[in-house]
Structures are given as structure tokens and as C-alpha cells.
């Protein structure tokens, strides 16, 4: 028995909302970054599911590969910024990072 | 058969995702996120994308999560461990999230385009065809992605280096 498409979409919706909750409600920078990873992964599920159910070529999988590559770059830069931040200002709370007066 | 496996993987991935958000210790969050990525790669196998499943395990579980654990080891998380998760602390964001989730689920469940059950012709995961597509039709984005990775590599080294160097 095949899995209907909306099951995958619903799973991606649930994971996306959980990840967004982590980004918006948590105050720990590390957990915020991990929740971002969760968001990007739920989007990847959508890409591959739509590509499999609607198109005969590999566009969904190719796009997911690019998303994964860009995510790796983003994590490397974000953790570099985090290490520099902790060295200058010993905090891990997003509310305490107001050096740029944003 | 497929549906049973999907329900199993989906349930475990949702539980581990909740653990990521709710755990107080960042190390527990990182380990739960690792388990969640493993479940998602199993879901990629169900979607007949075996190459993506392997890439998911290599890149996310193998590289990104190890990077996270190294950073957690480097910096002192004892102060951050003590703060607990208060869902009511940010009420507007919580209301917005609930609205967003309900809206997306209603749209998905009411739409008829999402109810297709039969995928287009099963390809059995031909990795050769996928790589031909990637290196022929998507060559320029591929090269751009590699340049972005190189820039991120240099940027991360410059950012994390000590000032005096």
C-alpha cells in the first residue's frame, strides 16, 4: 500500500511548526540553530515528496541536495559567529546579544 | 507495509523533534536532533531517494551534528542549562505558531491536489540518472553551491580565529 502524498506534507507541517516554535520561543542560541536545521529538513521532505508524486525527473531531489549544501555552509558560518560571540561576550541567550542595537 | 513504516518513522521523528525543543540541556537537544535526522533519512528511503538518505546521514548526522557537539564542548553551557523552557513566556509568538500550524494543516487536508496516492512511474532510485541530471542540467547551480561552500569555509575560519593572529 502506497503512502498518500498528504501524509508526507502533514509530517513536514508538524516538523516545521515544531522547529519554528524552537526558533521563536527558545532563548538558547544553540537550540535556535538546531531548530533551524529542523525547519530546513522539513522543507526537504516536501521537496522530495512533491518531486516524487508530481514529476518524472529528479528536480525535487536535486533541489534538496542544494538545500543540504547551503545548510552546511550556514551552520559553519553560524557556529563560527557563535564561537566569536562567546569569546567576546560570555552569553548564550539571544536576548543578551544587543551589541548592534537592533 | 509502507504505511506502517511511515507511521513508525513519523511518530519517532515528531517525538524526537519535540525533545529537541523541550530539552533543557543542549547536549540532549543535539542527540535528539541526531535521532530525528536518522528518522527523516528513513523517510527519504520510503520516498525512493536512497542517495538523499545517504547524504542526509553523512552531512547532517556525520558532519553538522558533530560540529554542534564540538561547539557545545568548547563553550560553557552550564549557565544555559539552568534556564527552563517557558511556553507562556512569549504569548504572541505561540498564538502565531498555532495559527500557522492550523492554517497549513487545514489547507493541506482540504485541498484535492494533495490526495494523490500513486507516485509517477517508480524509478527505483537510479542514482546514475540523478547524477546525470545534476551534472548536466544543473551544472551552474552546482558550481555556485561549491563556491558558496568555499566562501563559508574561509568565513568560518576568519570568524573563529583569535584577533591577534
Helix and strand totals (H; E) in chain B: 8, 0
Q: Does residue B34 have a pLDDT over 90? A: yes
In this prediction, residue B16 carries a pLDDT of 95
Q: Does residue B81 have a pLDDT over 70? A: no
CA distances (Å), origin A46, targets A51, A64, A95, B143: 8, 9, 32, 24
d(CA B106, CA A25): 24
In this prediction, residue A42 carries a pLDDT of 95
* A21 interface with B at CB cutoff 8 Å: yes
Task: Dump pLDDT digits (tens) for B131-154.
Answer: 888 899 999 999 999 999 999 999
d(CA A89, CA B79): 13
Closest in B6, B67, B93 to A24, CB measured:
B93
Interface test with A, best of B48, B160, B165 (most A CBs within 10 A): B160
CA distance A89 to chain B (A): 12
Q: Which of residues 86-105 of B touch A (CB under 8 A)?
A: 87, 89-90, 93-94, 96-97, 100-101, 104-105
Lowest mean pLDDT of A81-90, B52-61, B139-148, name the range: A81-90
d(CA B31, CA B51): 23
Interface test with A, best of B3, B71, B86 (most A CBs within 10 A): B71
Mean pLDDT of B9-28: 92
Q: Are the Cβ atoms of A73 and B75 closer than 8 angstroms?
A: no
d(CA B73, CA A51): 39
CA atoms within 13 A on the CB side of B22: 8
Give per-residue burial for A65-94: e unless 16+ CB within 10 Å, then b: bbbbbbbbbbbbbbbbbbbbbbeeeeebee
CB A38 within 8 A of CB B20: yes
Chain B partners of A3 at a C-beta cutoff of 8 Å? Answer: 2-3, 6, 46, 117
CA B52 to mean position of chain CA atoms: 12
Query: What integer best gives the mean pLDDT of chain B?
Result: 86
Q: ipTM, 2 decimals?
A: 0.91
* B136 interface with A at CB cutoff 8 Å: no
The yes or no reply on domain B1-84 and CATH 1.20.120.1200 is yes
Amino acid at each position: 500500500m502506497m503512502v498518500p502524498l498528504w501524509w508526507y506534507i502533514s509530517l513536514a507541517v508538524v516538523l516545521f511548526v515544531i522547529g519554528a516554535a524552537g526558533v521563536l520561543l527558545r532563548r538558547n542560541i544553540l537550540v535556535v540553530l538546531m531548530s533551524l536545521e529542523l525547519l530546513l529538513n522539513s522543507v526537504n521532505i516536501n521537496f522530495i515528496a512533491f518531486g516524487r508524486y508530481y514529476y518524472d525527473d529528479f528536480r525535487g531531489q536535486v533541489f534538496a541536495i542544494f538545500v543540504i549544501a547551503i545548510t552546511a555552509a550556514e551552520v559553519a558560518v553560524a557556529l563560527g559567529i557563535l564561537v566569536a560571540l562567546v569569546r567576546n561576550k560570555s552569553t548564550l541567550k539571544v536576548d543578551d546579544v544587543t551589541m548592534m542595537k537592533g | 507495509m509502507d504505511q506502517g513504516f511511515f507511521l513508525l518513522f513519523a511518530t519517532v521523528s515528531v517525538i524526537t523533534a519535540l525533545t529537541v525543543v523541550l530539552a533543557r540541556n543542549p547536549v540532549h537537544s543535539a542527540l535528539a536532533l541526531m535521532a530525528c535526522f536518522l528518522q527523516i533519512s528513513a523517510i527519504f528511503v520510503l520516498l525512493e531517494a536512497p542517495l538523499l538518505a545517504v547524504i542526509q546521514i553523512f552531512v547532517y548526522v556525520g558532519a553538522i551534528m558533530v560540529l554542534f557537539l564540538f561547539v557545545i564542548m568548547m563553550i560553557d553551557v552550564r549557565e544555559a542549562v539552568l534556564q527552563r523552557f517557558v511556553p507562556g513566556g512569549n504569548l504572541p509568538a505561540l498564538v502565531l505558531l498555532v495559527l500557522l500550524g492550523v492554517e497549513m494543516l487545514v489547507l493541506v487536508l482540504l485541498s484535492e491536489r494533495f490526495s494523490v496516492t500513486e507516485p509517477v512511474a517508480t524509478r527505483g532510485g537510479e542514482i546514475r540518472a540523478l547524477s546525470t541530471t545534476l551534472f548536466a542540467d544543473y551544472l551552474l547551480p552546482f558550481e555556485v553551491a561549491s563556491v558558496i561552500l568555499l566562501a563559508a569555509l574561509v568565513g568560518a575560519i576568519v570568524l573563529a580565529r583569535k584577533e591577534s593572529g
